[in-house]
């Protein structure tokens, strides 16, 4: 791609809010500004924002309040916000959430047509069903989401499995699979680095270390992880499970851990903001346990692979795409019994774990440089198609 593009990266979450989508948006902006043109982050205001830390523009529109772990609720209805974006002369608008920011881009297009891409990152029907108790309001929420999808010039998904979620919310149009990358580099961990983590958590030498990285939400199948840990403990297996992350159900999860009598086996670290430290945790673990069927791309699987640490995933889940059992990872069923059985059968086989981890690093790891290069090539295709076809008045 030769032409320098100017791209609006729309997202509901951006640091200081930390989650998978905020990481995606930041990586897109970092690499585009470094190599391909100019990217501007478009996101709701956050009372804790520290935008001065970033060497590129961050356009903040109004937010009403924050909830959960600092998620702002955007209010994009003021016409001035739309005219601000139009005046910046973007070549393309790329939204990473089908909610407020995508609706904001729809409002912009009502005044001035700009090609728009929407990446559908996660299974939003889980959140709608979980958080919206009234059928009438759920129906409106699905309609809002679907209209945002329909108004995009192109819809991207991060894995083939995400398409099931698109169909569940009523979207029947075309899509492009555009996988996310990994912002952690391929990494060789030293024995001293591993020893530091073991000392920090008082883990005796030669005790197997299991790892989970993600939001503390039940829909990540954390109950399966804890129940599997209980089964391993009952069998007499010694291990430590390190749980990295935070979330609105963290307190409930910790209570359940205590109820199972696992406080001597399970370690909760909270959120880790230092990515280098996180990478050492990945490298210290013998294996990552990630039985989520919610995640559409499973970034943590690639993050672990960067440190040559293999992951146990549920067969046929989105996170399992690209995984060959016993070659680049390990497949299990969506049950505590299957997770425990899989861990128990492989955790003592260090040669197998090392070999599978190295193959994961070689075969399923994808860097953000590669992912964003692919995205920028696709941007130009979308722009060229947009320019070559007539566009009727924008419909809402």
pLDDT for res 107: 92
Give the H or E element holding residue 15. none
251 and 307 share one domain: yes
Contacts of residue 3, Cβ cutoff 8 Å, sequence gap at least 6: 37, 380
133 and 198 share one domain: no
pLDDT for res 66: 84
Q: Poorest-confidence range of 51-60, 98-107, 237-246? A: 98-107
- Domain membership of residue 393 (yes or no) is no
pLDDT for res 108: 95
Average pLDDT of 99-110?
Answer: 92
289 and 322 share one domain: yes
Q: Poorest-confidence range of 107-121, 122-136, 236-250? A: 122-136
Residue 396 has pLDDT above 70, yes or no: no
131 and 169 share one domain: yes
Average pLDDT of 116-123?
Answer: 90
Which residue has 């990494």 as its token pair? 187
283 and 215 share one domain: yes
Number of helical (H) and strand (E) elements in the chain, helices listed first? 14, 15
196 and 166 share one domain: no
DSSP letters, 105-162, are HHHHHHHS---EEEEE-B-HHHHHHHH--SHHHHHHHHHHHHHHHHTSSEEEESSTTH
More confident residue, 135 or 180: 180
Give the H or E element holding residue 209. strand 209-213
Give the number of other CB atoms < 10 A from CB of residue 139: 12
Which residue has 């128990």 as its token pair? 344
CA dist., res. 256 & res. 216, Å (int): 12
CA atoms within 13 A on the CB side of 88: 25
pLDDT tens-digit profile of 60-77? 999 988 877 678 889 999
Contacts of residue 29, Cβ cutoff 8 Å, sequence gap at least 6: 9, 39, 40, 41, 54, 56
Is residue 308 classed as helix, strand or coil in its secondary structure?
A: coil
Residue 2 has pLDDT above 60, yes or no: no
pLDDT for res 73: 86
Residue 345 has pLDDT above 90, yes or no: yes
Is residue 37 classed as helix, strand or coil in its secondary structure?
A: strand
17 and 156 share one domain: yes
303 and 382 share one domain: no
- Domain membership of residue 320 (yes or no) is yes
- Domain membership of residue 186 (yes or no) is no
- Domain membership of residue 232 (yes or no) is yes
378 and 341 share one domain: no
Residue 365 has pLDDT above 80, yes or no: yes
Radius of gyration of the CA atoms of the chain, in A: 22
pLDDT for res 394: 55
pTM (two decimals): 0.82
- Domain membership of residue 103 (yes or no) is yes
Sorting pLDDT into bands at 50, 70 and 90, what band is 392? Answer: low
CA dist., res. 331 & res. 339, Å (int): 9
Sorting pLDDT into bands at 50, 70 and 90, what band is 364? Answer: very high
Sorting pLDDT into bands at 50, 70 and 90, what band is 393? Answer: low
Average pLDDT of 321-331?
Answer: 95
- Domain membership of residue 394 (yes or no) is no
- Domain membership of residue 396 (yes or no) is no
- Counted residue by residue, the chain has a size of 396
- Domain membership of residue 152 (yes or no) is yes
Calculate what percentage of the chain has a pLDDT beyond 70.
Answer: 97
Q: Poorest-confidence range of 7-11, 176-180, 342-346? A: 176-180
Beta strands 63-67 and 71-74 are antiparallel
Greatest CA separation for the chain: 68
pLDDT tens-digit profile of 266-300? 999 999 989 899 999 999 999 999 999 888 777 89
**Average pLDDT, whole number, for the chain?**
92
269 and 140 share one domain: no
pLDDT tens-digit profile of 142-176? 888 999 999 999 999 998 888 888 898 899 999 99
pLDDT for res 183: 86
133 and 224 share one domain: no
Average pLDDT of 80-106?
Answer: 94
Which residues are paired to 267 by β-bridges? 242
Report angle CA 279, 301, 156 to the nearest 5 degrees: 120
Residue 199 has pLDDT above 80, yes or no: yes
Which residue has 């690639």 as its token pair? 302
Which residue has 């924008």 as its token pair? 394
Q: Cα–Cα distances in Å, from 93 out to 101, 261, 378?
A: 10, 50, 13
Domain containing residue 323 = 191-363
Give the H or E element holding residue 316. none
Is residue 44 classed as helix, strand or coil in its secondary structure?
A: strand
CA dist., res. 128 & res. 154, Å (int): 23
21 and 134 share one domain: yes
Report how many domains make up the chain: 2
Query: What CATH number does the domain containing 251 carry?
Result: 3.40.50.2000
């Amino acid at each position: 791609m030769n032409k320098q593009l100017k791209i609006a990266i729309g997202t509901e979450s951006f640091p200081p809010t930390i989650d998978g989508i905020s990481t995606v948006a930041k990586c897109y902006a970092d690499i585009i500004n470094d190599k391909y043109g100019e990217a501007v982050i478009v996101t709701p205001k956050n009372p804790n924002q520290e935008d001065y830390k970033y060497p590129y523009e961050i356009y903040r529109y109004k937010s009403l309040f924050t909830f959960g772990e600092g998620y702002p609720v955007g209010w994009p209805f003021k016409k001035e916000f739309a005219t601000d974006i139009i005046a910046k002369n973007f070549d393309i608008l790329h939204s990473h959430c089908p909610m407020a920011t995508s609706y904001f881009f729809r409002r912009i297009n009502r005044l001035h047509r700009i090609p728009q891409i929407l990446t559908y990152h996660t299974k939003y029907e889980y959140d709608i069903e979980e958080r919206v108790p009234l059928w009438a309001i759920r129906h409106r929420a699905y309609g809002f989401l679907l209209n945002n999808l329909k108004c995009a010039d192109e819809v991207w998904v991060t894995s083939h499995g995400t398409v099931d979620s698109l169909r569940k919310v009523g979207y029947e149009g075309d899509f492009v699979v555009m996988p996310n990358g990994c912002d952690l580099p391929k990494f060789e961990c030293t024995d001293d680095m591993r020893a530091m983590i073991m000392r920090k958590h008082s883990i005796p030498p030669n005790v197997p270390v299991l790892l989970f990285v993600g939001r503390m939400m039940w829909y990540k199948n954390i109950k399966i992880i804890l129940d599997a840990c209980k089964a391993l403990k009952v069998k007499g297996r010694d291990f430590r499970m390190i749980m990295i992350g935070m979330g609105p159900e963290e307190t409930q999860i910790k209570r359940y851990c205590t109820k199972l009598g696992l406080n001597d086996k399970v370690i909760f670290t909270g959120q880790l903001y230092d990515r280098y430290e996180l990478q050492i945790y990945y490298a210290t673990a013998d294996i990552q346990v990630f039985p989520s069927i919610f995640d559409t791309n499973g970034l943590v699987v690639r993050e672990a692979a960067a440190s040559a640490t293999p992951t146990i995933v549920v067969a046929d889940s989105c996170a399992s795409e690209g995984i060959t059992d016993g070659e680049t990872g390990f497949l299990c069923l969506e049950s505590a019994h299957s997770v425990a059985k899989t861990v128990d059968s492989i955790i003592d086989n260090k040669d197998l774990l090392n070999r599978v981890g190295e193959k994961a690093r070689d075969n399923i790891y994808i860097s953000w440089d590669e992912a964003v290069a692919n995205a920028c090539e696709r941007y130009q295709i979308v722009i060229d198609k947009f320019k070559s076809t007539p566009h009727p008045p924008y419909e809402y």
